[in-house]
Structure 1
């Protein structure tokens, strides 16, 4: 029966209650058989009665304890927690991870015999003879506990101590002790004495090293206290190390700061080392002469000097180290939460629960011996960060101010330079190939690429307005949009009077292509408002492109959102990923930083799984991309067009927020997206990038932003042409077709009726141009109200050339309409001048 139970256990099968009872009884009697004294005591105390009670009590303590799997047992002698490392995409190391507990595992053949002999002599002199437990020691400890006589002793062997450290808690109870005995016996059945010793030496805590770090494992301790390997220690050093685990933070010679303790506080550790030496002498592990030499040696002279702050790896003081660390914690948290049958929403709603999972994930990351591979290319990362350092001084004025430290009450200086966040994203995979978190990590640890949220300005126009409008067949690039004065009373009662950049209005109509490529505001607002009136779910488009945290659900009903008017805004990474949707044929690819996480045995703990979602039809994405090609030659970008590498097929969109507080540049080739933001952190007060004096020194805000973006794009293309998509073009799908439209109306030629009994005929000889159309759209038939949000008098003015002149009464009416239109134009121009004088928002 016992053999069958063991076979079930080896095969990992579930055991019945009967099987479990037999298994534990076998173990119980095995413990009793270890010492004849126990049998004698049993007979004296009542024979079978006591034996029955004892076995019953024993079973009661352990009946609910699952029998450990072979894997769980293996973890007791191997895989001691150790330092984790993070790597670049090519496998080169970014840095080891700053750990709460620093540990480097070693093998027994790399440990000095002095250490092994000292450990056995001090902790478990019968280690090589017993089978995991010493029943006499257990009886002695139990007697002491029940009767309250004798010294306190746990009666634990090295095997039991290892079990307690790895598989059990520090709880003091008969229940834990019973489990400890069972597991120790099972461990000894599966592993050699050498494997158990190795596991113990790698697991044991040793206080602090000369950097003030918490350390564990004999190799880490030897290096961190004496500066030598565990295989090279002297007898005196070995005795000191062996003594530490009994009371690590009392016996360690170093403080939390890494400084050496004062001499009075070193005596405890020295005294403990003398006890170890004495035990080694009494068990004949060392000779009398060796003992005398070691005990008279001043071990304190061997302690290494405290480490300076310069010894901390420089790579840890970087944006990439910080970002990979945070991303890894999030990944591990999500795994733990899912394993417990919860969701992150459940955890986010409970602060205590969130903190618990965060702490567990943080501990696993730091002490789990993990290898975390990031997506970042080390050379691209270096190129990007070197470039921003070259250009940072030309971004604008650095301000200096003072503030009060709330914790200390002291006045501290605040340095506020123009900051930058930049991301280079692989369109197809979502990999972050490189990024710039800020201009100087030592100055500010705030990650402006992956964490900071800013208003996006006009960079949102294709994402929130023109893309959805084309997908919903509301407007194509040929569609005419009103570019006229707008006055809207908002929900809070304030009046919204937007205008285009430079407060200019054409007071007519422009095509959607022209409006987007030149980043015009009022046409965009009219188009966005038309989508709202038609019930388009703009929020669904935004959220499919990863903007859930960037825009609140109640903001989509505000037309100012089409110009980037949101209280939160995206990170640079989120903006880049959303924009890349057009280069990806309408598919949004979720961006990511961590590729894989593996444990110390090479087992994959985490492998990124791509998340892709179709947002726009392929032809819709291409047509918008084609319009955004025009943006590389329009507006502020026009002067940099000639400087852009001709072998890169860029599509672009810039963005500027109110009063030039944020400057954005979004650009995609067929393979990558490069997104940049510059602006002030506005730590102590609101600051912007515009002043006449600054413009004279640094150039306009747009010039500063685009000069940097263009240089960075060219430099990346020079060094990494394959990555950047050199020579590739955005491929036009077969479903995109070209049609001829009347330039003035964006429609076909033809005859139609107008108001007041008028008729119009646009002849085939009228000025035309060609435009791209998706499979779902064709040019509209000629009609009077050919534009979005046009007024009657505006249509009349545009179509006057094509109006039939045969009816005099109609002519009189039309002339009146035209006269009214001219008066309204004059009023609009006057209002425009007024707006210019009050310096209303300029959004590019």
Structure 2
């Protein structure tokens, strides 16, 4: 091998040895390096896995959170402000001039105050104790939420909290106290929204207005800082000192435990829990540097116990007819309105279980939502009516020793507004509301609205049409075969005019008119369906019986007065109402009465009926009201009074309803046991009514419209008719005999059609014998042959 080749071989072998030597020399560090690289790779992988797992968990968490809040209502700024500010407050009932009628106490009781009416010490104490990061967070503290959630999951430290003041406000006002992840998730979302819409001070003020604060010195449950300040220390919330503020700020955590009072309003024998809580609040304020050490120590040493108010008795409001009537009517309105808003039909609402549910909801709303109910009641008029019944109710007694009760209503004709009412002689001894709740037989007071009004409206008779008033008997039903009698006789054995029949209130004539109308209309419910039903008279099969025109159906005083209001208002029904408006705590009007006029009778009919009912009052055949009133107050007696009386069998019920062109005043009198009163009930009722009207006139004379008059409508047909037949004048021939109609004409008022030509059978309800008696005892008659040339020579059959 040549040198060159050998040299190359040696060199190659050297490089190989050096390489092996190098590897051998680096053996330790190389292994470590490899190990580190493996660990690094594994750590990186773990981190990637952890990251991916975290992202997955975060995704799952986000998805779960989204699932929890799914369906949560997205509230507008206005809605969330309203819900948060919807503080349970006492509602009020008002008179028509906004004077307070009564307060409906809430439970707990509270009074809402503005931010500047709350001591700054209270706000600082609350924040330092309940939410030290209040001014830093945006409604939620994430780490606190996580801590509380983990505690909830593992079941350890579940009471550690985590809710900010904002969240607590949402929980109290918008959500429920339910413990669940879903509620918590909704709470977080809404708290974040709330912080966008309300300032920190607005949130604090709302919280202090709605939170419970235990009991006051009357033993009542209280809520809101103002009630707490007044009920515990006897000062307003704006005047609380530091120690008092700390005590009150500590109450919401456990109001009953920390309250110094028992449920009777007495101071607890041991109220140390509340005092210790006050010290904790003061320390929190010092720790958060909102008070100095000097202030802290001074407030801690302050003798707070001396500021606790002594026990006071609860002032129990004495409620009567006015309170309960207005309150119940407001509840009815609110309940029906809420049912309507919920899409409940009228038919569904009439079911007891449905209406009861909504009524209970309405009561809760009335007790807690600070509603203001403005009634139509005029305080002066209502008080005058109570004074009137107290002074003159005794005029109703009949000497039997039993109390004769009464119910009265005063209503505005043009609107249906109720100015005032009388529920009974004395609420303390009789709580039956005879004005609104008690129903009794209407007696003859029903005749204008059920009998004569509809008959005139249908053109079946005019004011001077003649109606049979001869002795007769009932034809059908339970009274069949029994004599139908008038109040004073069994029949006057003549044909009365419609005006006379109404003025004297004869029953037989009313019977004939009613039966004539029902037979011609082909329905025994015709008058009810077409007239009374429109005025909200109660539905009853008795409207179709023979005795219906005598007033055998039960009605309330309010219903009957409303019927006469319709006639006095030109035939237009305006339902009587007690509530003018209802507003919520923000002043928003949630209900306003709206007129709903219903034309029941034509204007012509109404004006004719008023003209006829004027005769009832002025002729005084059935009531001395006019003359008695003249003695009580002459000026008032000059008003254009119209009206009608009513008496049932054995004087069990007596009615008098009177109207002027502006108002209608009506009263029922009787005994609650339905036993008869002594004779003369009509005079006693008239006496009472005259003095009652006089009392009302003294406080408000203008409502009676003494200068106004009922006028006949322009479309009333004023027709000259025979005074004898009520039909157009002219000779009458019957069965070959010509009858000379006696001379004399009168004006008959018709709303529709008009009187027919004279005829022998001219009246309503007359039988052959009745006509024979009427013609032969009042007129000359002869054969047709004898009277052809000279009818005036007819023989007199008398």
TM range (shorter): 0.7 to 0.9
Could you tell me how far 1:97 is from its partner in structure 2?
Answer: 2.1
Does the 8 A contact of 1:749 with 1:762 survive in 2?
A: no
Which residue of structure 2 aligns with residue 405 of structure 1? none
Identify the match of residue 312 of structure 1 among 316, 323, 332: 316
Q: Secondary structure at the match of 1:202?
A: helix
Q: Which whole-Å CA distance do the structure 2 matches of 1:298 and 1:445 have between them?
A: 51
Compute the displacement of 1:570 (Å).
2.3
Cα-to-partner distance string for 1:377-399 (whole Å, 9 max, x where unaligned): 22222222211111122321699
Q: Where do residues 823-834 of structure 1 align in structure 2 (5 Å cutoff)?
A: none
1:130 to 127, 131, 137: 137
Going from structure 1 to structure 2, the CA distance change for 1:213 and 1:435 (only over 3 Å counts) comes to farther
* Structure 1: distance between partners of 2:487 and 2:259: 67
Q: 1:457 to 1:262 in 2, by over 3 A?
A: farther
- State the SS of the aligned residue for 1:787: coil
Shift of 1:56: 0.8
Q: Mark the CA change 1:654 to 1:250 in structure 2 (over 3 Å): closer, same or farther.
A: farther
**2:484 is aligned with 1:498:** yes
User: What is the distance in 2 between the residues matched to 1:614 and 1:639?
Assistant: 30
Pick aligned residue for 2:772 from 766, 781, 796: 796
For residue 527 of structure 1, what is the aligned residue in structure 2? Answer: 513
d(CA) in 1 for partners of 2:260 and 2:668? 49
Aligned-pair CA distance for 1:42: 12
Distance 1:417 1:253 in 2: 51
Displacement of 1:450 in angstroms is: 2.2
Q: Distance in 2 between matches of 1:180 and 1:137?
A: 14
1:462 to 448, 452, 457: 448
Match of 1:557 among 512, 536, 544: 544
Q: Secondary structure at the match of 2:664?
A: strand
Q: What CA distance in whole angstroms lies between the structure 2 residues aligned with 1:340 and 1:487?
A: 55
Give 3-state SS (helix, strand or coil) of 1:102's partner. coil
Following superposition, the deviation at residue 246 of structure 1 comes to 2.4
Deviation of 1:672 (Å): 0.8
Look up the match of 1:761: 739
CA distance in 1, matches of 2:61, 2:736: 109
Say if 2:570 is the partner of 1:570.
Answer: no
Contact 2:738 2:782 (8 Å CA) reproduced: no
SS in 1 for 2:645: strand
* 1:8-27 alpha-carbon deviations (Å, 9 max, x no partner): xxxxxxxxxxxxxxxxxxxx
Per the TM alignment, residue 327 of structure 1 is displaced from its structure 2 partner at its CA by 1.3
Q: Of 169, 172, 192, which residue of structure 1 is paired with 2:199?
A: 192
| Equivalent pair of 1:210/1:306 in contact (CA under 8 Å) | yes
Matched, 1:431 2:431: no
Distance 2:697 2:49 in 1: 85
1:259 maps to 265
Q: Where does residue 360 of structure 2 map in the other structure?
A: 359
User: 449, 455, 468: which one pairs with 1:482?
Assistant: 468
Answering whether residue 779 of structure 2 is matched by residue 779 of structure 1, we say: no
How far does residue 668 in structure 1 lie from its aligned partner after superposition?
1.0
- Corresponding residue for residue 440 of structure 1: 426
- 2:106 maps to 1:99: yes
* 2:38 paired residue number: none
Give the TM-score normalised by the residue count of structure 2: 0.86
Partner of 1:689: 677
From the superposition, tell whether residues 521 and 217 of structure 1 become closer, same or farther in structure 2 (CA, over 3 Å). Answer: same
1:440 positional shift: 2.4
Q: Structure 2 vs 1, CA of residues 248 and 504 (structure 1 numbering), >3 Å: closer, same or farther? A: farther
Aligned to 1:541: 530
> Which deviations, in whole Å up to 9, do the C-alpha atoms of 1:522-542 show, x marking residues without a partner?
111121122222225111234
Tell me, yes or no, if the aligned pair for 2:454 and 2:531 is still in contact at 8 Å: no
Q: Conserved in 1, the CA contact under 8 Å of 2:717 and 2:750?
A: yes
Matches within 5 A, 1:595-674: 595-632=580-617, 633-638=619-624, 640-641=626-627, 643-644=629-630, 645-674=636-665
The answer to whether the 8 Å contact 1:582/1:622 transfers is yes
What is the rounded CA distance, in whole Å, between the counterparts of 1:608 and 1:284 in structure 2?
A: 57
Per-residue CA deviations over 1:88-139 (Å, capped at 9, x if unaligned) read 2122222222323422111222212332222112211211111111111111
Partner residue, 2:40: none
Q: For 1:468 and 1:386, how far apart are their aligned partners in 2?
A: 38
Residue in 1 that maps onto 2:163: 156
Question: Within 5 Å, which residues of 2 pair with 1:212-291?
Answer: 212-254=219-261, 256=263, 258-260=264-266, 262-263=268-269, 266-287=271-292, 291=296
**Corresponding residue for 1:28?**
none
8 Å Cα contact 2:462-2:755 kept in structure 1? no
* Contact 1:76–1:199, Cα closer than 8 Å, also in 2: no
Q: Is the alpha carbon distance of 1:439 and 1:678 closer, same or farther for their aligned partners in structure 2, counting shifts above 3 Å?
A: same
SS in 2 for 1:90: coil
Distance 1:468 1:347 in 2: 32
Shift in Å at residue 718 of structure 1?
4.7
State whether structure 2 residue 403 is matched by structure 1 residue 417: yes
Cα distance, 1:606 vs. partner?
A: 0.9
TM-superposed CA distance for 1:641, in Å, is 3.1
In the TM superposition, residue 558 of structure 1 has moved relative to its aligned partner by: 0.7
Using the TM superposition, give the Cα deviation of residue 232 of structure 1 relative to its aligned residue in structure 2, in angstroms: 1.9
1:52 to 49, 55, 59: 59
1:197 Cα deviation after fit: 0.1
CA contact (8 A) 1:752 1:784 kept: yes
CA deviation map 1:362-414 (0-9, x unaligned):
122222222221112222222222111111223216999xxxxxxxxxxxxxx
Which deviations, in whole Å up to 9, do the C-alpha atoms of 1:497-556 show, x marking residues without a partner?
Answer: 3311134421222111111111111111121122222225111234444334x342x122
**Take 1:481 and 1:210, find their aligned partners in 2: how far apart are those partners?**
75
Q: Is residue 515 from structure 1 mapped to residue 485 from structure 2 by the alignment? A: no
Aligned 8 A contact 1:759 1:803 in 2: no
Largest Rg, 1 or 2: 2
Equivalent residue runs for 1:4-153 within 5 Å: 46-153=53-160
The 2-side partners of 1:551 and 1:228 are apart by 58
Report how many residues are paired. 733
What is the alpha-carbon distance in structure 2 between the residues aligned to residue 206 and residue 119 of structure 1?
13
Once the two structures are TM-superposed, the CA of residue 435 in structure 1 deviates from its matched residue by 1.6
Give how far 1:274 is off.
4.2
The 1:101/1:572 distance shift into structure 2, 3 A limit, reads farther
Shift of 1:250: 4.0
Q: Which runs of 5+ in 1 are unaligned?
A: 1-39, 401-415, 692-699, 811-820, 823-844
Assess if the C-alpha contact under 8 Å between 1:460 and 1:563 holds in 2: yes
User: Which segment is superposed worse, 173-182 or 80-89?
Assistant: 80-89
CA distance in 2: counterparts of 1:231 and 1:43, whole angstroms: 56
Q: Distance in 2 between matches of 1:808 and 1:729?
A: 53
- Counterpart Cα distance in 1 of 2:291 and 2:676: 76
**Residues of 2 paired with 1:141 and 1:66: CA distance?**
25
Higher mean displacement: 75-84 or 731-740: 75-84
**Which of 182-191 and 355-364 deviates more?**
355-364
Measured against aligned partners, the alpha-carbon deviations of 1:339-382 in whole angstroms (never above 9, x if no partner) come to: 1111243123141x333211221122222222221112222222
CA 1:523–1:190 in structure 2 vs 1: closer, same or farther (change >3 Å)? same
Question: CA–CA distance in 1 between the matches of 2:593 and 2:211?
Answer: 34
Whole-Å separation in 2 of the counterparts to 1:182 and 1:383:
58
The answer on whether the counterparts of 1:545 and 1:577 sit within 8 Å (CA) in structure 2 is no
Residue pair 2:258, 2:273 contacting (<8 A) in 1 also: yes
